[in-house]
Amino acid sequence: MTTLATKLRIASWDEAPTQDLDDGGRVTRATVALADGVDGLDAGTFESVMYYRPDGTSNYVTVMHLTGTLDGRSGSFVLTGEGTYDGTTASGTCEIVPGSGTKDLAGITGTCTSASTHADYPYMPLSLTYDLT
């Protein structure tokens, strides 16, 4: 397994409520574009559905598509995962979807974590641990 610690720039973030709840909570959906990677991952997109509690903390689920060149091999892959926002830090974990790797990244497996605060903006730090078989 190889671990790549990198970051991608949040090029756009479009989030809108899908449901306002009686207790003051809210469900939203976000579409996010990532760009300008320099350490192997080039770009990506993700869709998240978030549940915000009345206090502003949240839980979310995500489907992410990343493109890049890892160990000289180019292609893309999809990850699914979940995370939390505690009011300060958004922390998430994802797993590469088996069979989602394309081109030279076919067969990629692994996981990805991210922990970011407002101080990281406009970048999203990622730690990708992967194996290319």
Return the domain boundaries, the chain: 2-131
Residue 35 has pLDDT above 90, yes or no: yes
Mean pLDDT of 82-104: 97
Provide the whole-model pTM: 0.93
How far, in Å, are 11, 64, 109 from residue 50 at the CA level? Answer: 20, 14, 26
User: What CATH superfamily classification does 2-131 receive?
Assistant: SO1590-like (2.40.350.10)
Cβ contacts of 120 within 8 Å, gap of 6 or more: 7
Percentage of residues of the chain with pLDDT beyond 70: 100
**Per-residue model confidence (pLDDT) at position 56:** 94
Report which of residues 35 and 133 the model is more confident about: 35
Cβ contacts of 52 within 8 Å, gap of 6 or more: 25, 26, 27, 28, 58
